[in-house]
Amino acid sequence: MENENLVSNAFKAFSKEAPEHAEAWMKLVQGLSSASALDHKTHNIAYLAVLAALKRINGIPFHVKMAKKAGASRDEIISAILVGLPPAGHVVTEVLPVAIDAYDNE
């Protein structure tokens, strides 16, 4: 797996211990992504905003890499994380160091 170091241990266990479920999940995720009217970069930075609002820290490194690969700048990543401040509150700032580290060390 190309992004092996960026995938959480939980997702690795899911993929290993329930490969049929993981395959079905990935097909769903890919299908929803394909159905999106957003361009790839916008989709990825929006995804980061949702992860930050939900405090899904484990998914941040992988999805930062995907956003960066799609052309997102460091400032766009930071702005995507912080867009959730008004509705989600300070919880989004807990994701910020992980996102910045992932972007800078990608």
> In the prediction, which pLDDT does 6 show?
77
Domain tally, the chain = 1
> In the prediction, which pLDDT does 1 show?
42
Distance, in Å, from the CA atom of 85 to the CA atom of 52, rounded to the nearest integer, reads 9
**In this predicted model, what pLDDT tens digit does every residue of 17-70 receive, in sequence order?**
999 999 999 999 899 988 999 999 999 999 999 999 999 999 999 999 999 999
Distance, in Å, from the CA atom of 24 to the CA atom of 21, rounded to the nearest integer, reads 5
Residue 82 has pLDDT above 50, yes or no: yes
pTM of the predicted model as reported, rounded to 2 decimal places: 0.83
CATH at 34: 1.20.1290.10
Domain that holds residue 9: 4-104
